[in-house]
Amino acid sequence: MINFYKISSLIILLLVISLIIFSVPMSRYSRAVSPCEEDSTIIERSIFIGHPRTNNDVKQSVLKSIEKIDFSNFALTLLGGDLTVNIDSKEALVYLDSIFDLSDPNTLLSRGNHDHPSTMLQDFTKRPSYYAYSRKGITYLILDTEEKAGDISNDQLKFIKKVTDTISHSKHLIVMHHRIIWMIGNKDLAPLLSSVGNSTKQILKTNFYKDIYPLLVDVKEKGLTVICVGGDRTNINIEYITSDNIQFIATGMQPNQSDDINYVIVFEHNICNQSLSWLFEPLNKIKKTHQK
């Protein structure tokens, strides 16, 4: 025999549960909206600075205009080396840290010949002289061109191969270095060597094209954008695209030049569609546009 009392009780219970569910505000059950769905043009800007030092070998310092930049306006601060004449002192490191926040994970430094050898620098930043760092679709490979000028070998070369062999979840590879090693042995760039610092143009030979460039081509063939950016002193901005569609760019400031002809590089990264662009910007524009 059907127990109508039990059936009625069950129906009432189901009705109560339904009322409870539908009385809860719908917003609690709304699908989470990602930032890119709300705005498909979320841009992260990073700044690359090469050779910002003055010629003052008594008071270790960077250019006054560099001191005035508000680096909090940039997601990353990328330093191409030669920060001061001699970085190997506690006073110099404390001073530089007050400007660039050297130990911050988003401050990346490729040391130059004026930063080498400095064991204090590595102790201060808690980072080796070469390393890799990934952020939101970009892998940064920081090279040390100072161990043996022009020759990147042994453990560092093994590290580069490991990074390029295993790179994943990135759309772009930015290779940072001080000496502009890809100018050596490149017939198209040879005429420009007179316009760069001695630390680059005095390199007699390099293993860049023999050992490193093929690894970058392999990365490019995986579908990534590959950009090499150098920070030695230059009289000109250098940009060059190889036949393998690998981008070479370089710029480094000079102490006696005015801010309208001393350049930095600004990278703009669209987080949502993973596009990456860059431009040379004169230091006076950085001061005016980006400083709070």
**Phi, then psi, of 208 in degrees rounded to 5:** -60, -50
pLDDT-based confidence at 287, cuts 50/70/90? low
Please tell me the distance from the alpha carbon of residue 230 to that of residue 247, in angstroms, as a whole number. Answer: 11
Nearest-CA neighbor of 258 among 99, 65, 71, 84?
65
Kindly report, residue by residue over 216-251, the tens digit of the pLDDT: 999 999 999 999 999 999 999 999 999 999 999 999
CB 177 within 8 A of CB 110: yes
Least confident of 7-21, 47-61, 160-174, 183-197: 7-21
- 266, amino acid identity: V
Please tell me the distance from the alpha carbon of residue 107 to that of residue 124, in angstroms, as a whole number. Answer: 13
* Model confidence at 134: pLDDT above 50: yes
- The arithmetic mean of pLDDT across residues 13-30, rounded, is 47
**Phi, then psi, of 86 in degrees rounded to 5:** -145, 110
* Model confidence at 86: pLDDT above 50: yes
Average per-residue pLDDT in the chain? 88
pLDDT of residue 9: 57
Q: CA neighbours within 13 Å on the CB side: how many for 241? A: 4
- Tokens at 12, concatenated: 């009432």
Please tell me the distance from the alpha carbon of residue 113 to that of residue 281, in angstroms, as a whole number. Answer: 25
Which residue(s) pair with 147 in the sheet? none
Domains parsed from the chain with CATH numbers: 35-290 (3.60.21.10)
Please tell me the distance from the alpha carbon of residue 137 to that of residue 145, in angstroms, as a whole number. Answer: 25
Nearest-CA neighbor of 195 among 231, 237, 230, 228?
237
Which residue(s) pair with 215 in the sheet? none
Contacts of residue 276, Cβ cutoff 8 Å, sequence gap at least 6 = 138, 171, 172, 225, 227, 267, 268, 269, 270
- The arithmetic mean of pLDDT across residues 241-263, rounded, is 96
* Model confidence at 72: pLDDT above 90: yes
* Model confidence at 36: pLDDT above 90: no
Which residue(s) pair with 47 in the sheet? 77, 266
